[in-house]
Structure 1
């Protein structure tokens, strides 16, 4: 849950520190007081699109910080955090921080670690969900309907699309490969000429694995031949000869041997010394052998330089080293073979594409059947929710169908075009008046009905969504009376499983809350400021009383407000 929110120099807010409680918290206040600005701040904190317009006039930057406590260590955010290298502390604290400068630069952090805006969004939206009037309008977009239906089904069957999507990717890659190979003859002839030239150039070079590295090492040795020879010779002479290194080491060995005749520890030391002496003696022989093999050949250096130049010319065209050039050679040799045997290769590819399409369509059909089952379950769940919201005469249907395309793959008497999510289209249809046929949402539902439909869906999905906090931003607009009370009950029901923050102008919603925060706009020193205050029981009565009358507080409105609070908290 969101435990604390800190806002500094954001829009008309100079500085606010807001503690939040579990359950349902409502934010109330006059229009323009800054309620939605607080929600905007939370939206940016979880990865929303920022703007320099949010930085308070005259300030250099706006700062937002939110403290979340995620007690459930099985929550998906823990897995995401591990994948992204973010540590969640032992006390289950997750701190999101975002700074927006007046120049437009945005800096994001999670638990003190700098991260990208994309990561902030991924983590933030896994713990908090903002539901606004804009989201309600998004329900009119039919592209969202399949997403919602799949989410409903996927909450119970987590992997139901994964096998299809794997097959889809395989089919797509094979189809692309077939189309790429099925080019016109002129393009293929030009491509074959180019590949043959490249292959001949590489093969004529007769490259050997790691040849460039070996030649570079040899060139380096030849460039420094005199230095290497002199130092090896000096090292050998320092070890061999009378009164030289090995001679003195031999004397020391004799001394240790003689001393060891009277002391066992020295005997052990002598044996260790002798082992090292023989090792040094062996190294001296290897130095001598290397000196004997050294033979400076001026012509060899010239040959190496010429060969490395030839290899560098190939590197410019085909790879950064010999290994990459040889890999490229094998690749174009394979492509040449495919072009030369194009007809057979195309036939093989076509067969593979067809087999992949058959498997894909069978899996897509299974997806279709699952969606049809899920559609019936979602219809039933939504109608139950709508009945509670006084839309009991509503007919809500989820239409899952396979469109017939002009171009596509033949399947069960029609042509279909598979896409990433199957071959279906999904539409939410509704009729709010008995006897009228169901139609698309945007042709039937009013603003108040849309709010109720979306709230019904949110109430269904909140059980599976996994977010710890939900924010409702004036989703109760356009409703009143018993519908408002029903919406209040639904919002409160969601708060039982998740923390809910709600901006509202409805007394029914405000009265059912566990906590009420009043937002006010004040002017101090010719500057506008936003303040926030948690209301006591008596203060809530006054505030809700004003919401009832819409004007001055009266004894009647106070009595009604008190009754509303007491009635809602007896449920």
Structure 2
């Protein structure tokens, strides 16, 4: 969950630091105090689209930072962080985003710089933000099938995994067949090209590490004079009369004579004797090197020509000789395939037919499971809507592709996720036809439908923090109470932040934060205050009656709080 939020120089906020708790946190306050600005800041923190207009007037940079505590190591954020090379210690994840007046953003996750796109990937595993008119995940028909699969959990996951394993094989065979079925002229051109390339590589008769060995030999020939002079000087310094080896021989002989007279000298004699024989071997090796040393301009010319040939091949076929050889082997296989094109097409068609038959069996299994869980989901959503006083609303998970014939030859319907195309449909008024969920226009109805869906799917999505931004707009009375209870139910065992103008929702809060704006030194600023019981009564009273708060209003607020405490004891049981 989001435990700490820090905002600096963002809109009318100069500096704000808020500690957040588990459960339901309600944010309330006068219109324009900055409630939605705080939600906007969180939205940007998890990768939302930013703008220089968010930066407080007169400042050059806005800073937003949030600390998330995720103790469950199976949470999706751990896998995503691992993929990005981000370390998570003690379950703490710190997201930070700095926006400059130039429009640039600097994003960090646990101190590591990331792009906005990567910040968004991390953020979507942590927070789900819902506004009254925003087309969020639940309103996107392209994701409805995925939501159904999440609802079906392990049963659908297992069947889908079996299907996708076969689909991968099917897709590969299909692409190979399409490749062989290309325009004949293109295939001939391709064959001519790779045959030329293969012959060029074969003529070169490359050997692994040949370029390195030739480069070393070239270096040796180019430095012939320096090498010869150094070896000759070394040889003369060590060998001959009055040179190194002779003087070492004198030392060794005298030490051996002394050792015969004094036992203690033997410890000195041995290393000197060893050095003499080692040096003698070294002089012999230097002499061999001098004898073998030869300046061969023709050899140098060959080496340069050969290295040039290898470099030309590298520019065409790979950065190293090994890559060139691998490429040669690959096109050799392709040449063989193209020369025997008809045989391969027949083989692929047979393979494709066999795989497709198995694939469609697995697809049918996935579809049957989806239809089974779609019925369960429909019942659950109908129940949720009933609890939100939408008894006459009809919900349906409608399949558009289920009627597909499994013996049909058309392959267009086969996709990575099966044969199904599914969308949520709904009718809110008796006698009216079912319409796609995304077409629902009424703000109050949309809020309740979204809340009903969220009550179910939040359990299956692994999101740690859910934000409702005035989703209770347009409702009142018993519907408002139902929405309050539903939001509280979603918050059980997780974290929900909710901007609300409804006293019923505020009364259900585990934590109530009051957002206020004040003017200091001619500048407007936003502050956040956690409310204790007395102040909570006053704020709920204000939400009930407006500006004037009477004793009767306070009494109503206290009754609402007491009623909410009783409801909390039964909700979720």
Structure 2 length as normaliser, TM-score? 0.90
Structure 1 residue 388 displacement after superposition: 2.0
Q: Alpha carbons of 1:335 and 1:79: their partners in 2 closer, same or farther (altered >3 Å)?
A: closer
**Superposition map of 1:68-467 within 5 A:** 68-90=68-90, 92-135=91-134, 139-154=138-153, 159-250=158-249, 278-402=277-401, 411-413=406-408, 415=410, 417-433=413-429, 438-442=434-438, 446-467=442-463
Q: What is the CA–CA distance in structure 2 between the aligned matches of 1:317 and 1:77, rounded to whole Å? A: 42
**Superposition map of 1:451-490 within 5 A:** 451-490=447-486
Alpha carbons 1:154, 1:160 under 8 Å: kept: no
Alpha carbons 1:155, 1:464 under 8 Å: kept: no
Structure 1 residue 218 displacement after superposition: 1.5
Q: What is the CA–CA distance in structure 1 between the aligned matches of 2:154 and 2:66, rounded to whole Å? A: 28
The one of 503, 515, 519 equivalent to 1:519 is 515
2:33 corresponds to: 33
Secondary structure of residue in 2 paired with 1:6:
strand
Q: What is the CA–CA distance in structure 1 between the aligned matches of 2:451 and 2:254, rounded to whole Å? A: 97
Alpha carbons 2:156, 2:369 under 8 Å: kept: no
Alpha carbons 2:6, 2:18 under 8 Å: kept: yes
Alpha carbons 2:259, 2:269 under 8 Å: kept: yes
Q: Alpha carbons of 1:474 and 1:257: their partners in 2 closer, same or farther (altered >3 Å)?
A: farther
Q: Alpha carbons of 1:351 and 1:242: their partners in 2 closer, same or farther (altered >3 Å)?
A: farther
In the alignment, structure 1 segments of 5+ residues that lack a partner are none
Q: What is the CA–CA distance in structure 1 between the aligned matches of 2:264 and 2:330, rounded to whole Å? A: 66
Structure 1 residue 42 displacement after superposition: 0.5
Q: What is the CA–CA distance in structure 1 between the aligned matches of 2:514 and 2:53, rounded to whole Å? A: 25
Q: Alpha carbons of 1:274 and 1:347: their partners in 2 closer, same or farther (altered >3 Å)?
A: farther
- Higher mean displacement: 185-194 or 57-66: 185-194
The one of 468, 492, 495 equivalent to 2:491 is 495
Alpha carbons 1:3, 1:19 under 8 Å: kept: yes
Tell me the C-alpha RMSD between the 2 structures.
Answer: 2.9
Structure 1 residue 428 displacement after superposition: 1.8
Structure 1 residue 433 displacement after superposition: 4.7
Alpha carbons 1:430, 1:439 under 8 Å: kept: yes
Alpha carbons 2:511, 2:530 under 8 Å: kept: yes
- Higher mean displacement: 246-255 or 527-536: 246-255
The one of 532, 537, 540 equivalent to 1:541 is 537
Structure 1 residue 280 displacement after superposition: 4.5
Q: What is the CA–CA distance in structure 2 between the aligned matches of 1:437 and 1:513, rounded to whole Å? A: 38
Q: What is the CA–CA distance in structure 2 between the aligned matches of 1:383 and 1:259, rounded to whole Å? A: 111
Alpha carbons 1:463, 1:497 under 8 Å: kept: no
Alpha carbons 1:404, 1:415 under 8 Å: kept: no
1:47 corresponds to: 47
- Higher mean displacement: 68-77 or 338-347: 68-77
Q: What is the CA–CA distance in structure 1 between the aligned matches of 2:344 and 2:261, rounded to whole Å? A: 86
Secondary structure of residue in 2 paired with 1:412:
coil
Residues paired across the two proteins, number: 566
Q: Alpha carbons of 1:274 and 1:451: their partners in 2 closer, same or farther (altered >3 Å)?
A: farther
Q: What is the CA–CA distance in structure 2 between the aligned matches of 1:384 and 1:197, rounded to whole Å? A: 70
Q: Output one character per residue of 1:125-180: Cα deviation in whole Å (capped at 9) or x when no partner.
A: 32222222245665444222112111212367655533433433332232222212
Structure 1 residue 412 displacement after superposition: 3.4
Q: What is the CA–CA distance in structure 1 between the aligned matches of 2:504 and 2:214, rounded to whole Å? A: 85
Q: Alpha carbons of 1:367 and 1:71: their partners in 2 closer, same or farther (altered >3 Å)?
A: same
2:564 corresponds to: 568
Q: What is the CA–CA distance in structure 1 between the aligned matches of 2:254 and 2:117, rounded to whole Å? A: 74
**Superposition map of 1:552-567 within 5 A:** 552-567=548-563
Q: Alpha carbons of 1:46 and 1:296: their partners in 2 closer, same or farther (altered >3 Å)?
A: same
Alpha carbons 1:136, 1:450 under 8 Å: kept: no
Q: What is the CA–CA distance in structure 2 between the aligned matches of 1:500 and 1:363, rounded to whole Å? A: 39
Secondary structure of residue in 1 paired with 2:9:
strand
Structure 1 residue 513 displacement after superposition: 0.6
Q: What is the CA–CA distance in structure 2 between the aligned matches of 1:471 and 1:496, rounded to whole Å? A: 14
- Higher mean displacement: 165-174 or 54-63: 165-174
Alpha carbons 2:156, 2:370 under 8 Å: kept: no
2:570 corresponds to: none
Alpha carbons 1:375, 1:400 under 8 Å: kept: no
Q: What is the CA–CA distance in structure 2 between the aligned matches of 1:264 and 1:19, rounded to whole Å? A: 85
